[in-house]
Amino acid sequence: MKVDYLKNKKGLTIKGPLVFTPDIYSDSRGLFFESWNRKKYEENLPDTAQFVQDNHSESSQGVLRGMHYQIEPYPQGKLVRCIKGSIFDVAVDIRKSSSTFSEWVGIELNQKNKKQLWIPCGFAHGFLTLSESAEVLYKASGYWNKDCERTIQWNDKAFNIQWPIENLNISEPLLSDKDANASSLEELLKNDDLFL
């Protein structure tokens, strides 16, 4: 298994998110790989990453889910993989004290590359479905908590995320009502709804 940090469009390495690329063994029968090995992952993930919940979503092309996170005392880290289709997966640094605050990284996760993205606490997460449909499976290091759940606008100018929407021949992604009415970064800063 290979583990890498991601660089953003400016060439900055964002400390926190990690990409896990598994060793895939294939032959005439098909393929095999380890999608989870506690010992190997714990060598690279923080002690707080004790997974307690698995989530599974299915989305059609052009659906954008995000940008989501949970504040204290119920923050969530996520280990995300796409088991069917393809997504553009994004993590945004929302740690106010971080030198890379408001910077983002993105990577394509798909059923072929089998890569997984670790999004630690202190980052907002979202993804855009690139294929006709996509199934996403992720492990969470904390339980979902409605009172601590927060959503930031997917197109907030403070982030300037380069979503590959033009490749899908759509002008706007398909959003849930919650995501369409998300708060701006400025509003969340005023309400002290970010991480230190």
Question: What confidence tier does 150 reach under pLDDT thresholds 50, 70, 90?
Answer: very high
Catalytic residues: 68, 138
Domain 2-191 class in CATH? mainly beta
- Residue 9's pLDDT is what? 86
More confident residue, 132 or 196: 132
Range 170-196 average pLDDT: 95
Whole-number mean pLDDT of the chain? 95
- Residue 168 DSSP label: G
**Residue linked to tokens 């072929």:** 112
For a pLDDT cut of 70, what percent of the chain falls above it? 99
Maximum CA extent, the chain: 58
The tokens for 47 are 């002690």
